[in-house]
Structure 1
Amino acid sequence: MATTTVTTTETERVFIPIKAESLPPVLTFEADADPADVIKALKISGGCRVKAAVDKDILWQVERELRPHIEADVVWEGDFFPIQTRRVEGMIGKSPICAEHIINHPLYQAVCKEFLTTKNWYWSGQKKIFATSDPQLNNSICFSIGPGAWDQPLHRDSWCHQTNEPEVAVYPDNYDRDVGIGWFIAGKPATRENGATRFIPGSHLWSKDRPPQEELAVHAELEPGDAFMMLSSCYHGGSANKTTDQERLLFSCFMTKGWLRQEENQYLAIPREVVLKMPVHIQQLMGYKLSQPFCGWVESDDPRVVLDPSLKDDPSGHYDEDEDKH
């Protein structure tokens, strides 16, 4: 596993390189797998594959809803994404089928609930106040990677939340280390040749200071409908599309803790008139839900009051004052 520093200087820490033979295996699960088994695998390797997570008929419908937005995207300015990349951001608001069958996938959400739910309690005078903050959507993006695209730099998506991970040998008993979980569904075959996601198994245990080692990266090759699930503290990146005629199509999202700021601002990215048409559980998944005990309120009320004024002063969704329940 990862080792400690060799030397420390005023400018940088120097690490002993990791050897490929020491990396943990990346397991593959069926879509109806026990979430507990997936959680165990993520703690060890940081990522796993899920076979046939989404029905191919659903994939076709999602692509049909998103294709006009893919074609309308403009070239990214900068070198983080290859110029052959087209993106559909705010994907949850552009494809209702994607929202329900990909982002709200039961296995993915069950794993997110375990890793990203925060439970705590506080004194209010002589009364204990128990609070639960549920996970929320961090971003949702469709990626279309065309021929000629270069390797994306290996990076951690946890960087958006200013994390400062120490180096550990095994995953801690609590879930304070990670701030997000990614979910990547292949819309078309994802292969080493056309740019499948590169990922370093075990890198979720590394220090923030340890740089990625490109030679350790493995490719998350997927058939259409397969998924790759990954902790946001893992080094990963899209790969070069070395084909001349293949599009790598990926439907992706990340969930994060309910009390953190979302990477993609869901309240501004998705128009209100679109959100109003969504089912309540999808609205709440996006963050239109109080993060207990009282984070994210609007006029001292649950934020869904801006979508449904009839909820004004409705106590449901607020913190639980029943100290005997816990």
Structure 2
Amino acid sequence: MSTSTRSPEDASSRTPLSIKISTRLKVDNPRTQSESDVKSANTATEDLRPHLEADSPWDGEFFPQETRRCYGLIPNSPTCAEKVVMHPLYQAVCDKFLTTKNWFWSGHKKTFATSKPQIMNTVCFSIRPGAHSQPLHRDDWCYHVVAQKADKYPDDLQRDTGIGWFVAGKDATFENGCTRFIPGSHLWAHEQEPDDDLCAYAELKKGDAFMMFASCYHGGGSNKTKDEERLLYSCFMTRGWLRQEENHYLNMNLDTVRTLPREIQDLTGYTLSEPFLGWVNSNTPRVMLDPSIKGNKDMVQNEQPA
């Protein structure tokens, strides 16, 4: 998977890039596109098309009337769950930036806790001809983040609440409304207003991907074509101690959750956020899937994790 962007000043240019996190912290990765990426995109489209067509127009200004959405990509498309949400590069970046480690006193003993990232939301977007551009926004607003200006990204990597991952189901171009974003805006203060003139455009080939922090100002572009759909599979991950934006506890029944691989079950919230967040009857929430798990016991770490 790969990305490219172009600025509004040179809309004819197409510049291959390494996959970037919010366009500032670079993860070296050559531009590649395999047949499996395209095949996965085709399969995901087959899975989600009925849900897109069943969606209704948005009541308000945040989404254009021409846009359709499908939520719950994990239960609705095994391909999206495996190939989009669980993409190894995306999960590795989320693990690096969204894992929280801490220690606490328990009496006179230090105890240690590691909270791993969890899913924040999953959406497939179908942006159709005539759709206007979406307002520039940050996806961390649901966590009431009031960011302070930063000259560089902090070494402790704890600034952000989420990371987004956008995979193209069809070619995404400037003309058909590819994602626009403001490079460097993840370092801005809360009070700084987004400026549309600063936008770059994440043009993607089918099967390619774009990654950014939830604090980066972004929005869907306008679809100026007569007959092209922009199809995008998106997801965000967040910290394990924050509430999920899309409630995965309610959009999947337990029978569906039981069919998922263990790592996806954990990702959707069926594991504790250490030291003891999300318990059920003083037990890990995994007890809902495996009643044999014993509760009523300490679940903290007595040694500092690596």
Does TM, scored on the shorter chain, surpass 0.5? Answer: yes
Name which of structure 1's ranges 65-74 and 214-223 shifts more when overlaid on structure 2: 65-74
> 2: CA distance between counterparts of 1:281 and 1:194?
35
Work out the percentage of aligned pairs sharing the same amino acid.
54
The one of 57, 78, 81 equivalent to 2:39 is 57
Match of 2:66 among 84, 87, 102: 84
Pairwise CA RMSD? 2.3
What do the CA deviations read for 1:126-184 (whole angstroms, capped 9, x no partner)?
22111000000000000011100001000000101110111111111112210000000
1:43, CA displacement in angstroms?
A: 4.5
- Partner of residue 83 from structure 2, selected from 96, 101, 107: 101
Where does residue 3 of structure 2 map in the other structure? none
Q: Distance in 1 between matches of 2:122 and 2:26?
A: 24
Q: Does the aligned pair in 2 maintain the 1:132–1:319 contact within 8 Å?
A: no
Matched, 1:171 2:153: yes
Q: Which has the higher mean CA deviation after the structures are superposed, 48-57 or 142-151?
A: 48-57
Residues 197 and 221 of structure 1 are in contact (CA less than 8 Å); yes or no, is this contact kept in structure 2?
yes
Residues 49, 169 of structure 1: CA spacing in aligned structure 2 closer, same or farther, 3 A cutoff? farther
* 2:180 counterpart of 1:221: no
- Corresponding residue to 1:252 among 234, 238, 242: 234
Aligned counterparts of 2:26 and 2:193: Cα–Cα separation in 1: 17
Query: 1:74 maps to what in 2?
Result: 56
1:44 deviation in Å?
4.4
The one-letter amino acid of 1:152's match is: Q
* Partner AA of 2:172 in structure 1: A
Instruction: Tell me the distance in 2 between the aligned counterparts of 1:97 and 1:44.
Output: 28
5+ residue gaps, structure 2, are 1-8, 10-14
How many residues in Structure 1 have an aligned counterpart in Structure 2? 291
Residue in 2 that maps onto 1:33: none
Deviations 1:68-124 (A, max 9, x none): 111111111111000111101111110011101110000000000010000001111
CA contact (8 A) 1:122 1:128 kept: yes
Q: Residue 46 of structure 2: SS of its match in structure 1?
A: helix
2:268 to 286, 302, 326: 286
Once residues 254 and 174 of structure 1 are traced to their aligned partners in structure 2, the CA distance between those partners, rounded to angstroms, is 21
1:297 counterpart letter in structure 2: W
Verify the 8 A CA contact 1:158 1:180 in the aligned structure 2.
yes
Please give the alpha-carbon distance, in whole angstroms, between the structure 2 residues aligned to 1:67 and 1:213. 34
Cα 1:294–1:49 shift into 2, 3 Å:
farther
Q: Which amino acid aligns with 1:228?
A: F
**Cα distance in 2 between the residues matched to 1:205 and 1:217:** 15
Unaligned runs of 5+ in 1: 1-19, 21-25, 31-37
Query: Counterpart in 1 of 2:163?
Result: 181
The structural deviation recorded for 1:50 is 6.5
Aligned match for 1:112, one of 94, 107, 110: 94
Please give the secondary structure, in 1, of the residue aligned with 2:228. Answer: coil
C-alpha displacement of 1:270: 2.1
Q: Which runs of 4+ in 1 moved over 4 A?
A: 41-46, 48-51
Amino acid at match of 2:197: E
SS in 1 for 2:250: helix
Cα 1:322–1:169 shift into 2, 3 Å: closer
- Give the CA deviation at 1:315: 6.9
- 1-structure distance, mates of 2:44, 2:294: 35
> Are the equivalent residues in 1 in contact too, given 2:100–2:114 (CA < 8 A)?
yes
**Separation in 1 of the partners of 2:189 and 2:16?**
23
Equivalence for 1:5: none
| C-alpha distance 288-70 of structure 1, shift in aligned 2 (>3 A) | same
| 1:321 pairs with one of 292, 298, 302 | 302
Q: Distance in 1 between matches of 2:279 and 2:178?
A: 40
**TM-score, structure 2 as length reference:** 0.89
